[in-house]
Amino acid sequence: MGEHARYIARHVETDLCFGKRLDVDNSDQVKFTKGKQEDKPKKMQALNERHKVQVQDIRGQESSYTLDKNGFVYLSHEMPELARVSDEEYVKETIIPETESLVRKITGATRTVTLAHRVRCLAEDGALLASNRAPAHSVHSDFTVRGALHNLETVFPDKRERKRLLAGRVLIINVWRPLKPIQRDPLTVCDWSSVNIQAESIPTRVTLPNGWNEVGWYAYSPSQRWCYLSGQQPNEPLIFTQFDSSEVDEGGFTVPHSAFVDPEYSDFAARESLEIKMFAFV
């Protein structure tokens, strides 16, 4: 990765889609159990409003950001096996174990269990979601506290084992890695130290045919600091926190993030990236 003392930062002014502030309970429900696949983006757009933000390029300052303070970190980590990312068995047998090893190293976790992985790209027509694999252009977190604990219960149905795990520190970590250098639709994360989760988070239960999860949409605040790494390379994974059991009483620790449009690269080739979400037990 390297930190470039003379690097000229590429801050980007762009629009992000935020959740609309709702009624007193500040929560919502979205059901995707019925209806056509192409109707889903329209349903989500009805809950959003756009705000202009400046996304700060932190290249050259990567070491100033930490997982505990800011909720994210960029690392230098080679993964030559990315050329075989279309081989599902190879992903499960090699790429995921290597990624879990990386997360254990940076968090001090003694155990990791992957929840999900996904290769993201655009649909051929560039408009509709391709099996939910298009870059997500709305500010969100993957879990609320309730959603994270529900997933923990799903993965570890034994109540005694869950109690034992929660006696320690339980994290959900997202590892987001480009498959090619990022130009179009880069990912921005919100510096957690600038987030007021009580005022800005909109817990939203998403019901799918195979179950439910509670995610967090986020309302806009001018205090939020949005960051990205310009020209992010495949050996520069972004690691960010989506749950921390030590922060439950404060409302959670779940970093908002979103793909965004960089006008200079909006007509470039579609973004390709790999994300892996996992439990980490510290």
- Summarised one tens digit per residue, pLDDT across range 67-106 is 999 999 999 999 988 889 989 999 999 999 999 999 999 9
**Does a structural domain hold residue 27?**
yes
- What is the rounded distance in angstroms from the CA atom of residue 262 to the CA atom of residue 185? 7
The total of other beta-carbon atoms located within 10 Å of residue 32's CB is 16
- What is the rounded distance in angstroms from the CA atom of residue 272 to the CA atom of residue 122? 8
- The confidence score (pLDDT) of residue 149 equals 97
User: What one-character-per-residue DSSP string does 175-215 give?
Assistant: EEEESS---SS-EEEE-GGG--HHHHEEEEEEEETTEEEEE
State how many domains the chain has.
Answer: 1
- The confidence score (pLDDT) of residue 168 equals 96
Region of 2 please: left (phi>0), alpha (psi -120 to 50) or beta: left
Degrees to nearest 5, angle at CA 249 with 149 and 144: 40
Alpha helices in 6-63 (DSSP H): 40-45
Question: What 3-state DSSP class applies to 172?
Answer: strand
Q: Which residues contact 26 (CB under 8 A, 6 or more apart)?
A: 201, 202, 203
**Does a structural domain hold residue 235?**
yes
pTM above 0.75, yes or no: yes
- The confidence score (pLDDT) of residue 42 equals 57
- The confidence score (pLDDT) of residue 22 equals 64
- The confidence score (pLDDT) of residue 251 equals 85
- Six-digit token pair at 117? 């992985």
Q: What is the pLDDT along the chain (282 residues), one digit of tens a residue?
A: 444 445 678 999 999 999 987 664 555 555 554 555 445 555 555 678 999 999 999 999 999 999 999 999 999 999 988 889 989 999 999 999 999 999 999 999 999 999 999 987 744 444 433 444 556 789 999 999 999 999 999 999 999 999 999 999 999 999 999 999 999 999 999 999 999 999 999 999 988 788 888 999 999 999 999 999 999 999 999 999 999 999 998 889 999 999 999 999 999 988 999 999 999 999
Neighbouring-strand partners of residue 56:
227
- The confidence score (pLDDT) of residue 7 equals 67
Domain boundaries, position 264: 12-80+122-270
**Does a structural domain hold residue 105?**
no
Amino acid at site 119: V
- What is the rounded distance in angstroms from the CA atom of residue 50 to the CA atom of residue 169? 36
* Cβ contact 239:67 at 8 Å: yes
**Does a structural domain hold residue 196?**
yes
- Summarised one tens digit per residue, pLDDT across range 1-19 is 444 445 678 999 999 999 9
- What is the rounded distance in angstroms from the CA atom of residue 242 to the CA atom of residue 254? 4
**Does a structural domain hold residue 151?**
yes
- The confidence score (pLDDT) of residue 211 equals 86
Neighbouring-strand partners of residue 173:
241, 278
- The confidence score (pLDDT) of residue 28 equals 54
* Cβ contact 181:231 at 8 Å: yes
**Does a structural domain hold residue 210?**
yes
- Six-digit token pair at 179? 């498959």
